């Protein structure tokens, strides 16, 4: 039986857990067993689960294999590609710049980019694309119509005569010469490319590269020190290995590699996807980010009015079942405790991720080093399995793993 995207988003928003701690002895045995079952049933080598409540990290643990070849296990602090969980982080950087008066949500992005298109701009609607449109995926691009620009490196390089793979700036310059699929702001269509543009906007406004700008604007205020932009072909310190669901090969976008390569290593450029899917992180640092968004306490990241803009920035046509696409997050406005729930799902070949911030102060992050072939049913399975395990836990040691 298949599930619609609306069912998946509704399932993610409905999760509400009791307090959870990484306890001594058997206190967290239901969660431990749930993660072990997920790895087995989904055929995933390894994963990590982290949970925070009321600003405290109360559970963080690794399961299974970080590397099949070396036989090494996943640790609580193992780092994974987070895929599209990158988008809330990019959105937070943009909103910090808005707070600082360096950007406006309703301003057009084109004059600020400073990038020259290949052969000229072919669609005047580019001039009507705003920062707000990019944040909530209403910029005018529909991958079901024209494809996903972030994974078109062979076509881009063929048409521009540049060596592959196409980087982020080259991708934007190429897209400036192509037609939009719909009027900006008129409807929702989930778009990786829009966040690539936001990354270039961050660079233009700050005068810094995307990675350093996000470190200063977002990661440092949250106390995050173990996140980096990943690399397509070389693992970073503490990073797991990635495995395609069926072990098959795909077409390489790197000229120096063989024509056929493992899907997670060379069929796409992770570097080009920096602002829409490029970070690597452990579960603890992702939860440092979500807990910094709690306006009930002093937030080191965003003002309360800015958080309200995340909730209120609903994309036309994204609603259904009480949830919608906000600014950088999927939103259920009436979530746990009567406050909004935020969440985001991520996936790449070899990567499956989920980050949830519930309105009652209960946050969780789960990272895997393989992505099952089925998408929507797996999301629901992960959510329901963790939820049921959490309900079995009655008492927890009083410990904050952030400290």
Digit-coded pLDDT (tens) for 72-91:
999 999 999 999 999 999 99
Place of tokens 């959105």: 91
And the tokens for 15? Answer: 């999760």
How many residues are present in the chain?
403
Q: 59 pairs with which residues across the strands?
A: 51
Domain ranges of the chain: 90-215
Residues 291, 254: Cα–Cα separation, whole Å: 38
Q: Give the pLDDT score at 28.
A: 82
Q: Tell which phi-psi region holds residue 328, choosing left (phi > 0), alpha (psi between -120 and 50) or beta.
A: left
Could you give the count of Cα atoms lying within 13 Å of 311 in the half-sphere of its Cβ? Answer: 19
- Give the integer Cα–Cα distance in Å for 192 and 171: 12
Please give the pLDDT value at position 60. 94
Query: Is-contact 173 118, C-beta < 8 A?
Result: yes
Q: What is the pLDDT of residue 361?
A: 84
CB atoms within 10 A of CB 309: 17
Q: In terms of C-beta density within 10 A (0-12 exposed, 13-18 middle, 19 or more buried), how is residue 235 classed? A: middle
Buried b (16+ CB within 10 A) or exposed e, 143-158: beeeebbbbbbeebbe
Q: Which tokens hold the place of 380?
A: 């629901």
Q: Kindly tell me the sign of the dihedral angle through the C-alpha atoms of 281, 325, 301, 273.
A: positive
pTM for this model (two decimals): 0.92
For the stretch 76-112, what's the b/e string if a residue is b when 16 or more beta carbons lie within 10 angstroms of its beta carbon? bebbbbbbbbbbbbbbbbbbbbbeeeebebeebbbee
Residue 218 DSSP code: I
Distance CA 400, CA 403 (A): 6
Locate all alpha helices (DSSP H) within 167-325, ordered by sequence: 168-175, 192-206, 210-214, 220-222, 274-277, 283-291, 304-312
83 and 371 Cβ atoms separated by less than 8 Å: no
Q: Could you give the maximum distance between any two Cα atoms of the chain, in Å? A: 65
Topology of domain 90-215, per CATH?
Answer: Beta-lactamase (3.40.710)
**Spatial separation of the C-alpha atoms in residues 251 and 257, rounded to whole Å:** 10
Q: What are phi and psi of 80, to 5 degrees?
A: -130, 155
Residue 382: CA atoms inside 13 Å, Cβ hemisphere, count? 29
Residue segments in the chain with a per-residue pLDDT below the cut of 50 = 1-25, 397
DSSP string, 314-366: PPTT--BTTBEE-SSSEEESS-GGGS-EEEEEEEETTEEEEEEE-TTSEEEEE
The Cα-based distances of 50 to 42, 105, 319, 355, 365 in angstroms read 19, 33, 29, 10, 5
């Amino acid at each position: 039986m298949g599930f619609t995207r609306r069912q998946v988003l509704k399932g993610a928003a409905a999760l509400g857990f009791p307090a959870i701690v990484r306890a001594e002895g058997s206190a967290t045995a239901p969660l431990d067993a749930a993660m072990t079952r997920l790895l087995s049933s989904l055929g995933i080598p390894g994963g990590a689960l982290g949970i925070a409540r009321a600003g405290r990290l109360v559970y963080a643990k690794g399961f299974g294999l970080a590397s099949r070849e070396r036989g090494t296990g996943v640790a609580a602090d193992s780092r994974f590609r987070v895929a599209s969980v990158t988008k809330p982080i990019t959105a937070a950087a943009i909103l910090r710049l808005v707070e600082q008066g360096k950007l406006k949500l309703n301003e057009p992005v084109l004059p600020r980019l400073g990038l020259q298109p290949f052969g000229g701009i072919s669609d005047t609607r580019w001039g009507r694309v705003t920062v707000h449109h990019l944040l909530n995926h209403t910029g005018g691009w529909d991958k079901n119509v024209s494809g996903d620009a972030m994974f078109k490196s062979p076509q881009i390089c063929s048409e521009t005569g540049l060596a592959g793979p196409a980087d982020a700036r080259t991708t934007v310059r190429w897209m400036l010469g192509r037609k939009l699929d719909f009027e900006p702001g008129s409807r929702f269509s989930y778009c990786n490319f829009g966040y690539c543009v936001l990354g270039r906007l961050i660079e233009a406004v700050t005068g810094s590269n995307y990675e350093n700008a996000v470190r200063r604007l977002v990661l440092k205020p949250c106390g995050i020190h173990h996140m980096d932009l990943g690399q397509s072909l070389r693992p970073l310190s503490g990073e797991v290995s990635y495995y395609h669901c069926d072990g098959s090969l795909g077409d390489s976008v790197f000229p120096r590699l063989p024509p056929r390569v493992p899907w997670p290593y060379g069929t796409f450029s992770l570097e080009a996807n920096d602002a829409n899917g490029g970070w690597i992180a452990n579960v603890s640092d992702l939860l440092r980010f979500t807990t910094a968004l709690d306006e009930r306490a002093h937030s080191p990241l965003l003002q309360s009015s800015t958080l309200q803009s995340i909730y209120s920035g609903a994309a036309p046509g994204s609603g259904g079942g009480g949830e919608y696409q906000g600014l950088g997050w999927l939103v259920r406005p009436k979530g746990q405790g009567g406050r909004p729930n935020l969440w985001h799902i991520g996936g790449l070949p070899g990567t499956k991720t989920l980050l949830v911030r519930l309105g009652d102060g209960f946050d969780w992050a789960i990272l895997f080093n393989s992505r099952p072939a089925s998408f929507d049913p797996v999301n629901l399975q992960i959510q329901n399995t963790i939820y049921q395990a959490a309900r079995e836990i009655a008492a927890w040691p009083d410990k904050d793993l952030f400290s």
